[in-house]
Amino acid sequence: MTTQRTIRKACLLLPIVSIILSSNCFAQQADNNLKISRKTGYAPVNGIKIYYEVQGEGKPILLLHGSFFTIEMNWSRLMPELAKTRKVIAIEMQGHGRTLDSDKPISHKSLASDVAAVMKYLKIDSADILGYSLGGRIAFQLAIQNPEIVRNLIILSSTYRADGWQPEVRNALQALQPAFFDNTPLRTEYFRVAPDTTHWHKFLSKIIAFNNTNYNLGDENIKSIKVPVLLIAGDNDGIDKNILADTYKLLGGCVFGDMTQVPKSQLSIIPGTTHVSILMETEKILLATNSFLK
């Protein structure tokens, strides 16, 4: 029985293996793309110093990464493309990348508060917000608690409630242990940029526990979001498509557009993509994003 349980857990962790291996490709791509001119710095907010990068000029769009990722790993392909026509701001949330971890508890509200504070520090009154995975949850929370600073919301392969992930994903996350990330490209990247690498396992434990909470930002809160929202998902990215459709309904979608007004929010499903490989679909994400923002 124990052997069968171990094998079953190993199989459930295959999607996480995919994330770790693919992240190496993202980091290599970043070495080329991030040679373009950019501004970097730290914003002292809420008791910590949040690392940020700014590329390009124009209307601001702020990017929020997924769990465990750095800016390079998450946005090396998309950020330079967006920066051709926009002012792109990317941050590394608490404990991630160059932003030191702290004893401050992690929550959706606290991370969203950090984002709002960084925007204020950079004198950005409002911006379009694009969040991937964990970043998508924080983008939702930001629109809920600070609606005045969000112009448009783009949620990439994410869900505002824990049961919005398919059971296989939730099972894999529950089986995850910090030691699983040792000797992986994620550790290599962390040790390359983190200001204090002694936080490695502590940081992993904190994010794993946070991702395993039974979170739900609230149907009424999602329904109350007034700004246009673009939901982008992969057809095989682990998001429960029934709940994704319900989310779109809360945002005013899933109507018979020929008989009523087309909603301001949009839904885009990218075929043949997973939670990881969707980050490589730069052209499709860029097309959907630019069309939506126009």
First to last CA, the chain: 56
Supply 132's token pair: 């991937």
Determine the Cα–Cα distance for residues 65 and 72; give it in Å rounded to an integer: 10
- pLDDT at residue 30, as a whole number: 43
**Whole-angstrom Cα distance, residue 61 to residue 54?**
10
HSE-up of residue 263 (Cα within 13 Å, Cβ side): 18
pLDDT at 37: 62
Q: Which residue has the tokens 């990464």?
A: 65
Q: pLDDT tens digits, residue range 36-55?
A: 568 999 999 999 999 999 99
Tell me the mean pLDDT in the region 5-31.
46
Q: 94 pLDDT exceeds 90?
A: yes
Question: What's the mean pLDDT in 173-186?
Answer: 94
Mean pLDDT of 162-187: 95
**Domain ranges (residues) in the chain:** 2-293
Res. 205: pLDDT tops 60: yes
Q: Output the pTM of the full model.
A: 0.91
Q: What is the pLDDT of residue 10?
A: 41
Residue 1 has pLDDT above 50, yes or no: no
pLDDT at position 290 is 96
R_g over Cα of the chain: 18
Q: What is the pLDDT of residue 226?
A: 96
**pLDDT given for residue 258 in this prediction:** 86
What integer pLDDT is reported at residue 120 of this predicted model?
98
Mean pLDDT score of the chain: 90
Q: What is the mean pLDDT of residues 92-114?
A: 96
The amino acid occupying position 221 is N
Tracing tokens 């779109």 back to the chain, one arrives at 248
Measured in whole angstroms, how far is the alpha carbon of residue 83 from the centre of its chain?
A: 18
Give residue-wise pLDDT tens across range 127-140: 999 999 999 999 99
CATH fold label, 2-293: Rossmann fold (3.40.50)
Question: Cβ contacts of residue 259 below 8 Å, gap of 6+?
Answer: none
Give the three-class secondary structure for 192.
Answer: helix
Residue-wise over 227-261: b if at least 16 C-beta within 10 A, else e?
A: bbbbbbbbebbbbbeebbebbbbbbbbeeeeeeee
pLDDT-derived band of residue 19, with 50, 70 and 90 as boundaries? low
Residue 152 has pLDDT above 90, yes or no: yes
Q: Which pLDDT band, with edges at 50, 70 and 90, does 14 fall under?
A: very low
In the predicted structure, residue 12 carries a pLDDT above the cut 60: no
Distance between CA atoms of 283 and 277, rounded to whole angstroms? 13
Mean pLDDT of 105-112: 96
pLDDT of residue 289: 98
